[in-house]
Amino acid sequence: MNSLAGRHIVLAVSGGIAAYKAVDVARTLVDAGAHVAPIMTEDAHRFIGPVTLSALSSEKVHTSLWDDDSAIPHTKLAQRTDIVVVAPATARVISAYATGSSEDLLTATLIATRAPVVLCPAMHTEMWEHPAVQYNIATLRRRGVVIVEPEYGRLAGGDVGQGRLASTEAIVSAVEQVLQTASDLAGVKVVVTAGGTREPIDAVRVIANRSSGKQGHAIAIEASRRGAEVTLITTADMAVPASINVVRVETAADMHEAVSQVTSSADVIIMAAAVADFRPVPIAIGKWKKRDGAPQVILEPTVDILADIAKSKRPSQVLVGFAAETDDVIANAQVKLLSKNLDLLVANDVSAPGVGFQHDTNAVTLLTPATAPRQVALAGKHEIARAVLDSVAEIRSRITSSRS
Ligand code: CTP
């Protein structure tokens, strides 16, 4: 099905050399049946003429907060659209959006809209890699903005590097994907756990693990964007959109308690957390003093949360586990999938470069009892989150159709 036909799209163009490519994006979206309302910033006019963009869009270019037919063009555009696409997005626009400043029609529309936003940055490599730009991109990702990363290739002035605006195909396919999945989990109650648990040895020391919580948080954000009612039970201190109900925990026991409270009402439970398998038997109530010598730390098993909730799993409930492995990844993952009675297991080889703990990227294999293992190649954790939730949505529709 063509998810673009009849959809309202605001195509916002900011001032970069790649602005001319927005014309092709507009034409492709219009050809697919979408209604495209273009916005250009003042600087975008230095690169392309508004007449060209108007001619290939569904209405004339909007440029100013003040010169439009409507007295409040940003709220009009923001409210009636199904999606906002910014292509190209300059460092200035990214910064304004991340800090919530509305200095022109484009940035005011971004702040005023409740619709999903797809941002397609384009700039020189040095600018793209600058910590300030990367910080703003990470902030926007955490708020659920979909970033279509710039490509590697020729840049203005003959330079070569990452920074070229993504291809029209990549941008249009991201827009289609966002529109298709915008409400495929509407009203579904999703519980996600994230981060590594910390188990106290005494009042100040803990046994922890390397999990950052980034993958679990990315899943929670993506599920919320797709309309789910999300509860995120996490040890990680990272900002998330206000739509997500966050429960902060520390230990495996805290996490078990928090998960138990929401298990019976959850439709989907995704255990992305790295839960400690063992915890120290506390050696002191306060701080163990050095003068008392090296302590003997004795470990005791924690409760396996997944195995525990699997015991009372309802037939319509979807249970997702993660398996961080270093050897025989698929074989070990298959055993976990079956022994823990899971609907989906997300396995990763944490010994591979760029995969798993602390990285911004991941590569996984998705295993279900009913389908052949599916590899998802190295990609940002937000893209991996999309693949995991595509699989969850598929499993839910299989369950629904088998019951009807
Ligand atoms: N898990 C859990 N409770 C625990 C330990 C793990 O719910 N006490 C969950 C994790 O959140 C993950 C899955 O079980 O979704 C697999 O975790 P992992 O540590 O890879 O596997 P284990 O079953 O603990 O087995 P092993 O450590 O021997 O590989």
Give tens-digit pLDDT for 224-233. Answer: 999 999 999 9
Domain limit, last residue, from 163, 181, 199: 181
194 lines ligand 1 (CB under 6 A): no
User: Per-residue confidence at 142, pLDDT binned at 50, 70, 90?
Assistant: confident
Q: From ligand 1's centre to the CA of 360, what distance in Å?
A: 21
Domain count, the chain: 2
CATH code of residue 307: 3.40.50.10300
Residue 307 has pLDDT above 60, yes or no: yes
The CATH number for 117's domain is 3.40.50.1950
H/E run at residue 339: helix 329-339
Question: Quick check: CB of 302 below 6 Å from ligand 1?
Answer: yes
Q: Please check whether residues 37 and 100 belong to one and the same domain.
A: yes
Q: Is the pLDDT of residue 1 over 70?
A: no
Q: Which of 197, 249, 300, 304 to mutate to test the pocket of ligand 1 (most atoms within 8 A of CB)?
A: 304
Helix (H, G, I), strand (E, B) or coil at 25: helix
Q: What pLDDT sits at residue 68? A: 65
Average pLDDT in the chain: 93
Q: How far apart are the first and last CA of the chain?
A: 23
Q: Is residue 348 domain-shared with residue 274, that is, in the same domain?
A: yes
Position 394 scores a pLDDT of 95
Contact 259 CB / ligand 1 (< 6 Å):
no
Contact 323 CB / ligand 1 (< 6 Å): yes
> CB under 8 Å to 149, separation ≥6 — which residues?
121, 162, 166, 380
Assess whether 142 and 12 both reside in one domain.
yes
Domain that holds residue 281: 189-403
Comparison of pLDDT for 113 and 75, the residue scoring more: 113
Please tell me whether residues 235 and 172 are part of one structural domain.
no
Residue 253 and residue 287 in one domain:
yes
Domain-ending residue, one of 181, 206, 229 = 181
pLDDT tens, position by position, 321-350? 999 888 898 999 999 999 989 999 999 988
Same domain, 320 and 246: yes
Write the burial class of residue 355 (CB in 10 Å: 0-12 exposed, 13-18 middle, 19+ buried).
Answer: middle
248 contacts: CB under 8 Å, gap ≥ 6: 234, 235, 237
Same domain as 280, residue 163? no
pLDDT over 60 at 56, yes or no: yes
Residue 74 has pLDDT above 80, yes or no: no
Q: Whose CA is nearest to atom 27 of ligand 1?
A: 277
Percent of the chain with pLDDT over 70: 99
CA distances from 204 to 266, 282, 300, 311 (A): 35, 11, 19, 35
* Per-residue pLDDT tens digits for 355-397: 878 788 899 999 999 889 999 999 989 999 999 999 999 999 9
Report whether pLDDT(282) > 80.
yes
Cβ 322 under 6 angstroms from ligand 1: yes
Ligand 1 geometric centre to CA of 110 (Å):
41
Residues 229 and 114 in one domain: no
The catalytic residue among 136, 209, 332, 348 is 209
Instruction: Identify the band that residue 402 occupies on the pLDDT scale cut at 50, 70 and 90.
Output: confident
Is 209 labeled as catalytic in the residue annotation?
yes
Residues 165 and 218 in one domain: no
Do 121 and 202 have their domain in common?
no
User: Does the pLDDT at position 241 exceed 90?
Assistant: no
Query: Over the stretch 348-366, which tens digit does the pLDDT of each residue have?
Result: 988 888 887 878 889 999 9
Are 65 and 141 in the same domain?
yes
Of 135, 160, 181, which residue is a domain's last? Answer: 181
pTM of the predicted structure, to 2 decimals = 0.88
Shared domain for 250 and 391, answered yes or no, is yes
Q: How far apart are CA 255 and CA 234, in angstroms?
A: 8
Percent of the chain, pLDDT > 90? 79
* Length of the chain measured in residues: 404
